[in-house]
Structures are given as structure tokens and as C-alpha cells.
Amino acid sequence: MSDIEIIDVTAGSDGQLRELDGRLLLVFRELLRLQSATAAAERLNVSQSTISHALGRLRRLHRDQLFVRRPHGLAPTRRARELAPLVDAVLDAAGRLLGDPETFDPSSSQRTFHVAASEFATALFGGPLLRRWRSSAPRVSLLTRQLGVDDGIDALRRGDLDLAIGRFAGRPPAGCERADLFEDHYCVVARLGHPRVEGRIDLTTYLAASHVIAGSPGEGGPGERVPRQLTIAAVVPAWLTALVMVAASDAIATCPRRLADQHAAALGLQIAELPNRMAPIKVSALHRNPSDDGVAWLVSELREIAT
């Protein structure tokens, strides 16, 4: 493993510059990802004493413990978490500078994309992606999991994810870029033949009805809360479960319009406009900066489907 000299014009002294090299940064990243000195040593194919020595140098350079021993392993300090996106950016840039140029070719690639996405987003994008890839990218595959917003960002920074799809408010986290995908709004769904809903619903009926709520990770937007006036009949972990329950009862659900349009006919549901205002649903994708060609292609595929 060759050292990578890092030049930083803001560094406090030439001595600090000489001490900071790529090996230390790699050790830092693996300790943050794995939170275990033993696992980091195995990943980097070095001894545990090498890891301990590198950690000691990192602590002296940053005047911080960086990783504190806990029963479950090494827990990063606040300073370590602050440094994480900066270290990732430097190592990514170094890799692109020293590595061989690679062009992603979907027609021949066997890549599996690791994506964090809510059930709502997976239901919308999953089928169309598989249909498109059957001919254009027959060996590409998708591995998705549901994570909350903060957990998704952490996994992205650790390199465990290629992409995180969800509702990310404000500026993108350090070390990440955001690609806006689509905007949606909430609607009301009820079974066909519902005794009090016939294509529309007023606020009084809406508040008096029994509601099924979907509460899976990453579904709600920032600051979004269920109104206290609602009568909650059930809380379930997935939108599709909520829609199936509504189709078989007189309960109603408030769900994204695109999801309702996708499943209303098959489940025997009617769709009505929401009688009260709610913030729009803005769905975007986060990826590490700079992104690779494969991730850029995946984002373009999602945008094609979303339009």
C-alpha cells in the first residue's frame, strides 16, 4: 500500500503535512466503517499493531481520541464523524486520480447496486427498472433496504450504499450530492362502494373516519406528523399493506398519489383529493461526491421513470 501525500494549504505546520498520508486515511475510514481494530486490520491486510500505531498518529494529529472503546467495539467521537466526509472526499479523489479510467457499460455490467429506499419509492421504481433492464442491462441487479434518513446518510458515507432515495430537506450533507427525482402529493384512498366516500371527501368525514397509517422507515417527510384529531385504526409497516387493509374495510388511508394511481384498479380503490393541505412529497437521490459512472447511469434511469 503506497503512501499518498495530502497537501492542505490550511494545515497548521509542515510537520503535520509530513505526518498525514493515505495509509492513515485508509485506517481512519475502515475504523469508522467497521468500528473494530481487528476487522480493520483484516480488511487492510495489516497487523493489529499497525492499526494501533496509525490510530495513535491520527489522535496526535487531530488532538482527539477519535475512537473510544465500548463493549461493542470502537465508537467514533463527534470529531471523527465530522472528519468522515472530508476523508471520504480525499480518498475518492485519490482513487480517481491514480486508478485506471473505467466506463460503466450497462449492457455488459454485472454490478449490483446497493440502494436505501422507502417502500413507497421501491414500489414505484422497482418494476419499471426491471422492465427496462431486461433488454438494456440484463446482468445488472438491485439490492434495496429500508433505512431512516440519518441511517441512510451514514451508510452512504461508509460506502455501504451506492444511492439513498428519500425525502432529504435542506442542503445535501457534506460529501454528498443530491439529484431531485420527482414531486408528488398526498391523496385519500377508500374502497369502492365506501358508504361515506364517493369520489370526494370533506374535512368532517375525513376527521371522523378510521385511518390506516403506514410507518416504515424513511416514509415521512421532515417535520411531518399525523394530526392528533385522526382516529387511528391501525399502523402498519408498509403502504401496500395499508392499501390492502383499506380495500377490505371502511377505513381510509392518506397516501402518495402516484402509489394510489399504481394500485387503485387492482385493489378496487377510489381516490379522492385531500380535504386539508399537506406539504408536497419531494423525492430525491443522494450519492457520494464525486459519483461514479454507474451511479450516474442509475440516477438517469430513475429520472426517466419519474417523468
Class of domain 14-98: mainly alpha
Spatial distance between the Cα atoms of 145 and 162, rounded to a whole number of angstroms: 12
Spatial distance between the Cα atoms of 194 and 262, rounded to a whole number of angstroms: 20
- CATH 3.40.190.10 describes domain 112-181+282-306: yes
* pLDDT tens digits along 126-170: 999 999 999 999 999 999 998 888 888 888 877 889 999 988 877
| Domain pair 112-181+282-306 / 186-279, same fold | yes
pLDDT value, residue 14: 47
Q: Which fold has domain 186-279?
A: D-Maltodextrin-Binding Protein; domain 2 (3.40.190)
Mean pLDDT of 182-188: 94
* pLDDT tens digits along 22-65: 788 888 888 988 889 988 888 888 888 999 998 998 898 888 99
pLDDT value, residue 289: 67
Inform me whether the pLDDT recorded for 94 exceeds 90: no
- Who wins on pLDDT, 84 or 247? 247
| Number of neighbours of residue 151 by Cβ within 10 angstroms | 15
Q: What percent of the chain has pLDDT over 90?
A: 43
Spatial distance between the Cα atoms of 238 and 241, rounded to a whole number of angstroms: 5
Say what the pTM is: 0.65
Q: Give CA separation, 186 vs 76, 277, 279, in Å.
A: 39, 9, 8
